[in-house]
Amino acid sequence: MSLAIASIAVLGTAALIYWYRNRDKPIKYLLRELRYTLDMQGAGVGGLIDDWVNIRRNKIVLPDAKKKIAVITGGARGIGTEVIRGLLKANMVVIMGIRKPEQATKLKDTMENSENLHAFELDLQSLKSVKQFADNVLIRYPEIHILVNNAGIMFGDFQLTEDGIETQLAVNHLGHFYLTHLLLPALKKGGAIEESARVVNVTSCAHYPGTIYYEDINMKTYYDTTAAYAQSKLAQLMTARYVNKLLSDEGYRVKCYAVHPGIVNTDLFEKSMFKKLFPWAMKMFFKTPEKGAISILHTCFDKDLENKGGMYISNCIEGISNRFSKNVEYQKRLFELSCDMVKIDSQNYGKGM
């Protein structure tokens, strides 16, 4: 009883302090923030339970990919590094898109088959940089077999990129949306009847509480960083589904998937309250980056996924995704809006125009 009273007192005090510090903000936005914070904790706990229940599924036997070509964004640290290690072990030629290509040299010292690792500069906060990276890749690799849209950021203050796009949306969704458009002609060449080329969007269970703010996608009216992360991860999932459908309707041998790597102990949590409050819990309860990479590698290689394009994968099986993400009308609306934002004609998406 006394514990319950003490908990209510602590929560009540915390709520009062929170309200006092944000008393200038309209109450409807404060309530929305509170809902997102709670829902995000729920998604995180759900993700942790999913990881524990399905821990045994995180196993992979890597194939011999016979020097096929993989492109990955990010990877100088975090889960991406371990995905690259796996791709190289599987005898792939790997092209990294990273902000500081010199970091690839350090990485090579720790990797098997490192002569097959190449890096070009890519800053997903800049559409110009995305175009430059795609040009660098396409001139050397006209056929691509796997694209892993891995790089990501989480949380932080409201900021717009040089293209006027909210940063989490720019890095997590729009930069990758544009890169996929630019590389699709090479992916179409890489896809074969017996083995389609694959686009793997690394999304998150954090998409679950998300929605798309179509009327204010940059969230200029009111910025909630948690809602912005959830929106960007939902957008990656919806894009995987919609672009997969477009390509399949047009008869191309390219499949798109979305994968949640698990709750993984990486620098991604640098700006989260969780890391500040419970840094020890991350080491104890979260997956290692090596384990986090397995679902992504599974999505790159598993033959049983060949006819399951558009799937959301978590712990190497179909994961639970939110209902909004499955609505084709919503997906189409996001696709059209994203095309507008990166200034391409939606009819020409992925057609090298």
Residue span binding ligand NAP (CB under 6 A) among the ranges 8-16, 75-83, 214-222, 247-255: 75-83
264 binds ligand NAP (CB under 6 A): yes
Number of CB atoms found within 10 A of residue 143's CB: 15
Minimum CB–partner distance for residue 300 and ligand NAP (Å): 14
Give Dmax (Cα) for the chain: 70
Q: Cβ contacts of residue 198 below 8 Å, gap of 6+?
A: 145, 146, 147, 254, 255, 256, 257, 299, 300
85-114 footprint of ligand NAP as x/- string (CB under 6 A): -------------xx---------------
8-67 residues near ligand NAP, rule: CB under 6 A? none
Among positions 170-199, residues that touch ligand NAP (CB under 6 A) are 171
Candidate residues 70, 72, 79, 256; the one interacting with ligand NAP per rule CB under 6 A = 79
Is 214 a known active-site residue? no
Give the residue among 38, 42, 47 at the shortest CA–CA distance from 11: 38
Which residues, at least 6 apart from 280, have a Cβ–Cβ distance to it below 8 Å?
Answer: none
Query: Binding mask 153-172 vs ligand NAP (x if CB under 6 A, - otherwise)?
Result: xx----------------x-
| Residues of this chain, 311-350, that bind ligand NAP according to CB under 6 A | none
Cβ nearer to ligand NAP, comparing 146 with 268: 268
Minimum Å distance from CB 237 to ligand NAP? 11
Give bridge partners of residue 69 from the DSSP assignment.
93
Structure tokens belonging to residue 338: 């994203």
Q: How far apart are the two ends of the chain, measured CA to CA in Å?
A: 68
CA distance 92 to 81: 14
Helix, strand, coil shares of the chain, percent, nearest 5, are: 55, 10, 35
Q: Do strands 69-73 and 93-98 pair parallel, antiparallel, or not at all (unpaired)?
A: parallel
Within 10 angstroms of residue 80's Cβ, the number of other Cβ atoms is 27
Q: Is 76 in the site for ligand NAP (CB under 6 A)?
A: yes
Least distance (Å) between residue 154 CB and ligand NAP: 6
Q: Considering 36, 229, 312, 349, which one is annotated as catalytic?
A: 229
Instruction: Indicate whether 124 belongs to the interface with ligand NAP (CB under 6 A).
Output: yes
The catalytic site residues sit at 229
Write out the residues near ligand NAP by the rule CB under 6 A. 73-80, 98-99, 122-125, 150-154, 171, 202, 204, 260-261, 263-264, 266-268
